[in-house]
Structures are given as C-alpha cells and as structure tokens.
Structure 1
Amino acid sequence: MIFSLEQAPPGLPEVAELQALQQAGLAVAPTLVLVGLEAEFYQLGNLPEQIKRAFAGVFGARLDEEKLERACAFAEKLLRESYLLPERSDELRLALPEGPVLVRYAGEAPFGLEVGPQETLWALKRLWASRWQLDAVLSRQPELAPPEVASLVQSVGPTLILDEVLSARAGEVLGRAAAVWASEGRVVRIA
C-alpha cells in the first residue's frame, strides 16, 4: 500500500527507473509509492457502482454530451468528497516527509505541490478525481475505469528544473535517452 521508493514492488513504470538511478548512486528525492490505495479508496466508498450509474446511457449509439458533462462533474465531486479509510490516512500522515511534497501519478507530469499532511491528503483525492475530467474520460472511452497507476508523493524544494547533467547521467544508467527533472540536485521525475 504505502512504500518507500526502496521498498516499492518491482515492475512499476518510472518507479523502477527511479530505483535504478538511486542504486547507481544518483540522489533521488525521498519518494512514497502508493500502490493499491486508490483502488481501496474506490472499493470502500462503493465509488465504482455510483460512477457506473452516473455514466449509464452516456456512451450509446451516439455520445450524449450533456450527460457526459454531468457524469464527469458528479464523479469528480464524489471522489473529492469521499473519505480515505481513517487507518490509511493516519498511516500516510505518519509516512509523509516534512516540508513541501509533490503529488503525482508515476510516469505523469506533476499534479500538485503541497505543504502539510492534510493538504497532501486533499491533493491525493484531487489527483484521483482528475481521472474523471471530461478530456480524461474521452481519452480512454469506451473504457470507463481509469488505469491503475501508482501515486507518488515526493519531497521537493521550491523549484523543479530540467537538469541536463542528471539527464545525461540517467541516460547512461538506463541505456536510453532520459529527461530528468530535479529539485535541489535530486532526481524527481524521469521522462
């Protein structure tokens, strides 16, 4: 569920690359890898059934755009207003690093920069709700359920820059061209 980068399960896209860079001696931002937490959030809140009902009739012989907009707005609001399991919230709060953290999906651009445990929990729910924005739903339709991707919470400084030196070093380690975004000299994101 909640892993440090070093303990994260193998085979997760981008996470494996961050692990490889760390093992090669590059400084990587302290990273929490959340696996299955989003799925648990959906299941415990009975969100899939509610979302399925909201989207009923949207994708028929033709796309009902008005229903789609209402269903997307409903799903986003539902995720933002649902609760994480209290034990999970407490576990996550205890694991969070001090200072600003970057919240994002593995393999995707940064979503939110937050300071504080409560703000980070809210940012995670906003991240998960972002999968129900109109463009996101249209990009994956006719599949309704969003893909399961690890969520990352990374300790960062005030700036995130494309670091050419770290990009070159990462390319050597990974055996492919890599663009590395860094904060305070530590790898945060690889593309």
Structure 2
Amino acid sequence: MYTLSEAQGLPEHLVGAESRRLGRHANLMPHAFVIPSGFEEGFYRHNNLPPQLSALFAAVRPQRIDEDLLEPLCLQAVALILGSALLDDQVQQLYLALRNAELGSGPVHLRRPGARRSQLAQARAPGPEVLHALKRLWADDWAFGVVLERLDTAGSVALEAAPVLVVRGDAGQPDTEMATRLKAARAWVNAEGLVGLE
C-alpha cells in the first residue's frame, strides 16, 4: 500500500497515472492511499483464479459472441471472485493502510484510478467492510457488460491487474472534512483531464 505522496514516484502500472498525478497534491487528500496492482495479482494467484477463469470462459468465441452463453458465465465468475479469500497477510496490510490513512471509520470510496466504476464502504475498524468493497470492485470486472466490452475491444475476457484508489467519503457525497479539500482539488483535477473525484 502506498500513500499518494509515495505513488508520485512509482511506476504507472503499479499505482496508476491518476494516483501519480494526485501525489503532487497529496496535501489536499491526506486520508487516501493506493492499493498497488500487485495486491490484486497476489489475490488471483493465491486462489488459482487465472486457470479457473480461463476454463470457465473456454467456450466463448470473441469472433461470434453468444450473449446467452456469456451471461451465466459472468455470474459464475463474479461468484468465484467474491467467494475467494485474501491471504491473512494481505488482510493485515489493508487494515494497517486504513489505520495509517485514518480511514478506520466512516464512508470510504474505492475505485480504479482513471475509472468511473467504484464501490463505497461504511468502514468500521479494523476494516472488513472495506475489504468486501475491494472484492466487489474486483468482481465488477467480471460483470456481463464489462466482459462484453473487453471482448469487443480486446478480443478476450482476460484483464490486467490494476491499482485501486482508496479515499475518504462517498464519490458523490464526500464527508464534511473532505468537502473543502475536494472542492479545491477539482480545479486541478479537471485541468489535468483526470476522472473527477465528484
């Protein structure tokens, strides 16, 4: 896990381009951190998910997509992600990052840097609600519409692990402590062409 200040100097594939840019203004968002892409990779590897997902979608032909076949497979993939467990070390890393960012209670917003799909958790220490929101965010990658879009654009159901940005507040209704900082941040967020935190 990385603070936004740390993310500024890290590779884009690890923390995301948006997180790196946010790092230049980390003082505006002190209650935030980045879950690196390697965290998701570890989750997939530990649960042997790549071969399971590959076998699940083996009958899907990108050249001629059968949506009636694809939809139940996506439901199974979502269930597979949600039913898989994080290693205890990963769980403790997440809980520690939440404590360090003072996100142990209240609304916590999780999303991929540069993406609009997100999850909201009402955190209570040590943070299991945030952990479940993170798994829901990962599972969203296997929703029917998202998989169909990957097939249309990339010709495959495969996806790369990606970082997750964790900030205080709801994407639409930030808490009062963050409201002023987010208002100030929106000006430069929009100027740099980032996906807004609004």
Structure 1 counterpart of 2:2, one-letter code: F
Q: Secondary structure in 1 aligned to 2:141?
A: helix
Tell me what 2:6 maps to: 7
Q: Quick one: distance in 2 between partners of 1:63 and 1:178?
A: 33
Which has the larger helix fraction? 2
- Conserved? CA contact 2:4–2:33, under 8 Å: yes
User: Cα RMSD over matched residues?
Assistant: 2.5
Q: Quick one: distance in 2 between partners of 1:179 and 1:47?
A: 30
Matches within 5 A, 1:34-183: 34-35=35-36, 36-59=38-61, 62-96=64-98, 97-99=103-105, 100-109=107-116, 111-114=118-121, 115-116=123-124, 117-141=127-151, 142-156=155-169, 159-160=173-174, 166-170=185-189, 176=192, 180-181=196-197
Q: Secondary structure in 1 aligned to 2:59?
A: coil
Structure 2, gaps ≥5 residues long: none
CA positional deviation for 1:65: 2.0
TM-score (norm 1): 0.80
Q: 1:61 to 1:148 in 2, by over 3 A?
A: closer
CA positional deviation for 1:148: 2.8
Q: 1:39 to 1:178 in 2, by over 3 A?
A: closer
Q: Secondary structure in 1 aligned to 2:5?
A: helix
Q: 1:180 to 1:144 in 2, by over 3 A?
A: closer
Tell me what 2:20 maps to: 16
Identity of aligned residues (%): 31
Q: Quick one: distance in 1 between partners of 2:11 and 2:62?
A: 39
TM-score (norm 2): 0.77
Deviation string for 1:82-113 (max 9, x for gaps)? 00011110121122122221111111226222
Q: Quick one: distance in 1 between partners of 2:18 and 2:160?
A: 15
Which has the larger strand fraction? 1
- Conserved? CA contact 2:28–2:185, under 8 Å: no
Aligned residues: 175
Choose 31-40 or 72-81, whichever is displaced more. Answer: 31-40
Structure 1, gaps ≥5 residues long: 183-191
